[in-house]
Structure 1
């Protein structure tokens, strides 16, 4: 007997990033085996950083907070993004067996195509219009569950994006542009009459068309779910900033798959602790690299041995491990 796929569209009524990320994680934990959710949400005046990024380095958080904004950290890897009410966030949530990146991207691309805009998937995680990004995407997997989320720039204040995000010069150079502003585009710059409501409705219609399941639409806020513990987590200093000690040695390099910084605290010739910062999409592997190096003798050959023993579960993960091992072999430490 074939089980019919249950599909739901859930829209958040909150503009608070800590509430919205709490709802997202709650839905991920509660997702049924044969269910797919499209979660639509907006944050007001917010910078959201990737799971493994250094908050102090990626965002001018004091300026952001003084101007009434909030800093948030998400579950997935990738880089920092700016959200305001001219931006629509989406999350596909499902059991891993229903995860299909091509299908999920098709929902977004068909939604904007229906509105008269030609777009395509590019690079690691971007949706672009004539090589300018209007949507960044990231991914997170936890046991048998998966989520794919991202942004759609409709009429966002890109001057604030430039003011709050601290993008490394190496990243700008690698993109062949002179500023973060020159890399992105609002949909209204392509089609002036487009609205947030247009994009939201088109996303729903495209989702229903591609998944062909029994549909349910609901609007929610923080009182509809038992999410207060998760709201406390996402709003906490520990989650957003963490403990960044003074490192004995710190090294940094940009690769094709993203930037990585390794901060080592040493004791008696061994790595007492190591912190790995990165905007790489492979968020779990980045954390596993840190765990794998902890306690290792601070010798290049020993650290490289630890890395090589790690199991890269995909071609991209194997490439990251190989690149980091080669980097250590070439670095004077």
Structure 2
């Protein structure tokens, strides 16, 4: 006969103390198999046994709202409990239930509770690994712990639930905190009142759950009370489970210990691993493993940590497999391979020493995803850069581009990326990151990215998904006060691209890491080579323009061909058609003749004289073209620095906002010549988005199919061919 007790609303530490007491007494044979119902008052957040509070709970929110924080004796993830939720627990002997594994126990008990909910009119079903759902929406999370041949298995029933309060209490992705995100989260969970349209009395719920468990487990039960021994032990132990000693007994590894950090997720949960390494001898001195894991015996992880002390890094995988080989253990949806990957993940950072990165700076490498560190760096094709590392005053802060003015580390990273034949992209929102990673996966590109640890942990799935689909990568940390350290409101702003704090890339480590990639031209660019105004366009330079110390050189365009080569369609394009030079030039001539307000935008490659004869000849040919065209307006783009609204839109184009100039003078045709290819692509995107102008590019390299018409490898001869047609 099973005993049933309802211990009423209690603070979290009393409920957790009773969990420990009842499990211990059952394992000693001092109490019968028991089904317990419980509630929490005041509301609280409870983390799993192996978790660190700092990593799971938004403490600034819970403290402000008076939400208590505690720790369960069971594994799994953090859970929010309000006063309405009903907790249920099954404390018994595995022999009495005829189960031999954690998975079997989970399935049997969850099916019993689901059967009980169906008696209330709620079509609940068990969903592995350990949830009970209603038409695809979670209504009960569950988990358990073993003590010898006894177990405690517990779960909750969501009765009348505040999803917003739950989301703000836990460390979850910020998009779920928006009204749209909250609605999305509400669509993924179910609670009794919403489904039934009423809130049943507690006893009605108790009776239904008891019937379901009785039928599924094949047991009989009767109501009872806690024994005097249970009550005495509660008085003795309640304070311990309210103490910091218990609640904070699992902590993040202290940063002063020079630990290497890593995060790994699998169907069985999330591992957060810290590893202390003797890099002189390449020995793993100590490892700390946290996470929302269900394992039996409960001390399994502590034993593994002890077993791995002072293991040579090359032997870590072997030692982990030895540890599990002759050991009786169980993990819910966990495999030995998961433990291997979780521990090795942070150890991959040690390769950074071979790149010249100091040991104390190895955690500036957040992760090498999908492959070893140096292998990923050598293959890297794309560089992802965060908008929040650009200055607030920069017109490019919220644009997928950079003027490379020298005012921030992002510009330096853009230049380095181009030098190494990589494609730099500024990530301005989570949606752009997602789409870019999937684009990398589709093309098999490896990337180098920059973010903070908190961002990586919250967006882990999108990086892993990209890796599984073909995009491996390396992530570097950034410097400064991130949105995650400033609270929920700033985190939400960052998600939408509205975070105003300025961060920095760790440029030194990035340069050291990319030293293993060859530069396209075999040497670093020298941007400040000798240059002066081209004699063919001096008259178009406005009097207010101040010559900069350096401008984008022809060499930069030649080393930035990674993107252009991919879209090269041949001699020329009209729309999405590949055509001959002859057909394209005839079409462009027709556009010019029919245009009422054409403009010619002349870029740095022709405005400046770099001493290259080929460019001088092209500049002369463009000047001859201008003399043939009486009605064309000339606008210059001498460099790519933001103008900060201090310019004349009738004669000059603002690089971050090229459409302002075109709209100001109402140009129906825009011809681009002498503009670097990477900048031309940006101008085309902006003009097509914000203006009705027709766009033509006379490109010196591979052309631009996104323009309405484009010629490739356009030299002086082709410019003169166009002039003859006018």
Correspondence for 1:42? 39
> Counting helix residues as a fraction of each chain, which structure ranks higher?
2
Partner residue in 2 for 1:109: 114
Counterpart for residue 163 of structure 1: 168
Give the secondary-structure state (helix, strand or coil) at the position aligned to 2:231: coil
> Quick check: 2:133–2:139 contact (8 Å CA) kept in 1?
yes
Structure 1 residues 227 and 182: alpha-carbon distance in aligned structure 2, compared to 1, 3 A threshold: same
TM-score (norm 2): 0.41
- The one of 316, 340, 343 equivalent to 1:325 is 340
Contact 2:268–2:333 (8 Å) recurs in 1:
no
2:212 corresponds to which of 201, 206, 223: 206
Q: Answer with 1 or 2: which has the greater Rg.
A: 2
- 1:257 maps to what in 2? 268
> What is the CA distance between 1:131 and its match in structure 2?
1.2
Give the distance between the partners of 2:339 and 2:70, measured in 1 at CA. 28
Distance 2:247 2:147 in 1: 20
Seen in structure 2, the aligned counterparts of structure 1 residues 167 and 293 have a Cα distance that, compared at 3 Å, is farther
Query: How far has the Cα of 1:34 moved from its partner?
Result: 8.6
Contact 1:10–1:40 under 8 Å retained in 2: yes
2:160 and 2:77 map into 1 onto residues whose CA distance is 21
Give 1:205 shift.
3.6
Cα pair distance change 1:207/1:254, threshold 3 Å: closer
User: Which residue is 2:318 aligned to?
Assistant: 305
Alignment of 1:1-333 (within 5 A): 6-31=1-26, 32=29, 35-44=32-41, 45-99=43-97, 100=99, 101=105, 102-167=107-172, 180-197=185-202, 198-209=204-215, 210-213=217-220, 215-218=222-225, 224-242=231-249, 243-244=251-252, 245-246=254-255, 247=257, 248-266=259-277, 269=281, 270-282=283-295, 284=298, 285-297=300-312, 299=313, 301-311=314-324, 313=328, 319-326=334-341, 331-333=348-350
Alignment RMSD: 3.1
Tell me: CA distance 1:249–1:214, structure 2 relative to 1, closer, same or farther (3 Å): closer
Q: How many Å separate the matches in 1 of 2:128 and 2:230?
A: 39
Supply the distance in 2 between the matched residues of 1:229 and 1:181 (Cα, whole angstroms): 40
For structure 2, the residue ranges without an aligned partner over 5 or more in a row are 100-104, 175-181, 351-726
TM-score of the superposed pair, with normalisation by structure 1: 0.85
Q: Distance in 1 between matches of 2:295 and 2:230?
A: 33
Q: Deviations over 1:282-324 (max 9, x none)?
A: 2634444323323323x1x221121011226467579532133
Contact 2:18-2:230 at 8 Å conserved across structures: no
| 1:292 to 1:229, Cα distance in 2 relative to 1, 3 A | farther
CA distance in 1, matches of 2:61, 2:208: 35
Decide which moves more: 16-25 or 27-36: 27-36
Deviations 1:138-183 (A, max 9, x none): 01011222111111111122221111011268xxxxxxx9965443
